[in-house]
Structure 1
């Protein structure tokens, strides 16, 4: 792997390249897309991934305080609990050995007996709203840390504030596109890490951000490259 922006460097320190700011909370999106903007291939993001993408994916998880994902992404991609890795020991310091997964769901249509909950080293967080059935909220509370954020739908500003209150200020969001759109609409995105696969996909695949129109001004702060895949990091214009 090499860095080609803002300078040229072979074998850069990936952990340092994706280090979080030390002085403020930070919400990072990590997504992969084809060269023509598709967020998945045959319904799954894995078809767009590469060895380098998976390596960065693991490092980003190790750096994060919490991994956030929408319920549809959790179901489609077959998410399990985040498992500790030996390589994370130095990354995580005195934090738990693996970050919890925070699942955003309006309807609470989750398999509460799945490994996502039963095998979690750090208790899984379920972010929902008051419109979710009370009996499902009570059932989820037996196996997860339940956050009720908003009335008829999940209010992402309230959700992110609740994570911060738990000391989880380095947030890694893995999508999907609809959740990304909600975060953009709420003006909560500080950074986008986008792996661009050298594929043309076409068809009806979603973009990495779907939903209401939202405009977030970003600047290209870093580009890494490996085997034709570009790993771009964009940060908010208003942040340093």
Structure 2
């Protein structure tokens, strides 16, 4: 199951549509009604997604109108479209590193990443686009473990030995368990939904920052997104809503067990809903691409 906001990484690029501006960056009303035409360099669209200097963590997800994070085949490619692909390409080009959970990397068939063709200039010489995989167990999808360009692996001591058997040791970022997560159950053999504490994502992001990878793009899945939100590590959430109805079955773009009340054996902690700020809203053929600021 996955929530990657795009067709699978190996899929061919569809024809890209123009995007109508319903709300401009920062809520700029004067740009409403304008149109972002497709251009080879995509600099106008990239300006809509500019981020401040320093560590910036952005998630990019896709959802059906009825809230599904994937289609009947458990892949997000079933519910996305060309408008989503256009935004996705720009977000990839602007990122230093793409962050995914091991389950998402496995389900979506991730391999080593390249900057989208024709958009290399948006990186301003920042080096290759990296991939970082978060895993409790240290297990990696076979396609990644056998590749010539291994990802960074964010794991704790429990998973480090397994990870080092798959990728070079300098690509394994060993961080402690997340002390804020529920503990006590044995570690799973694979990265399935689990109440056990995962790697400390704050420490993992710090390790990426130490390597100059400050523009982080999370592409899922729902459990990783939930962990980033719970730890207050997400600066913005980009959500593309496509005109598709998938019915019951598919999960939401955020999934997992809610945190427990401190000292209680059962029962989720209550929390007030967060109130993100809508930074911009784009439209093409019924598809809405929204950028929500969380800070």
TM over 0.5: yes
* Residues 1:209 and 2:240 are matched in the alignment: no
Task: Assess, with a 3 A threshold, how the Cα gap between structure 1 residues 167 and 133 changes in structure 2: closer, same or farther.
Answer: closer
Contact 1:30 1:174 in 2 (8 A): yes
Question: For residues 274 and 215 of structure 2, what CA distance do their matches in structure 1 show?
Answer: 19
Deviation at 1:100, TM superposition (A): 0.6
Classify the secondary structure of the residue corresponding to 1:33.
strand
Task: Note if 1:138 corresponds to 2:183.
Answer: no
Helix, strand or coil: the match of 1:225?
strand
- Do residues 105 (structure 1) and 135 (structure 2) align? yes
SS in 1 for 2:132: strand
Secondary structure of the structure 2 residue equivalent to 1:87: coil
User: For the Cα contact (< 8 Å) 2:223–2:254, is it kept in 1?
Assistant: yes
Name the structure with the higher strand share. Answer: 1
Unmatched 5+ stretches in structure 2: 1-18, 25-31, 38-43, 178-196, 260-270
Q: Is the 8 A contact 1:184 1:216 kept in 2?
A: no
User: Radius of gyration: which is bigger?
Assistant: 2
* Gapped regions of structure 1 (runs ≥ 5): none
Decide which of 152, 161, 164 is 1:125's aligned counterpart. 152
Q: SS of the counterpart of 2:166?
A: helix
Cα distance between partner residues in 2 of 1:223 and 1:141: 40
**In the alignment, what sits opposite 2:281?**
223
Do the aligned partners of 2:63 and 2:239 also contact (CA within 8 Å) in 1?
yes
Per-residue CA distance 1:34-85 (angstroms, 9 max, x = gap): 1111100020100111111111111101100100000000000111111234
Equivalent runs, 1:180-191 vs 2, <5 Å = 180-191=225-236
Q: Which moved more, 1:8-17 or 1:187-196?
A: 8-17
Structure 1 CA distance for aligned equivalents of residues 109 and 237 of structure 2:
23
Find the aligned partners of 1:190 and 1:133 in 2 and give their Cα distance: 28
Shift of the alpha carbon at 1:157? 1.0
Match for residue 104 of structure 2?
A: 73
Residue number in structure 2 paired with 1:3: 21
Contact 2:92 2:116 in 1 (8 A): no
Q: What's the counterpart of residue 51 of structure 1?
A: 82
CA shift digits 1:4-50 (9 cap, x unpaired): 014221126211111112x3321000000011111000201001111
Give the one of 157, 162, 183 matched to 2:207: 162
- Aligned pairs, how many? 231
Whether the 8 Å contact between 2:153 and 2:163 is mirrored in structure 1 is no
- d(CA) in 1 for partners of 2:207, 2:147: 23
RMSD: 1.9
- Alpha carbons of structure 1 residues 144 and 80: separation in structure 2 relative to 1, 3 Å: farther
The 3-state SS of whatever aligns with 2:233 is: coil
2:63 alignment counterpart: 33
What is the CA deviation profile of residues 106-157 of structure 1, one whole-angstrom value per residue up to 9, with x for unaligned ones? 1122145x2565243xx510111112262x1331342761011223521111
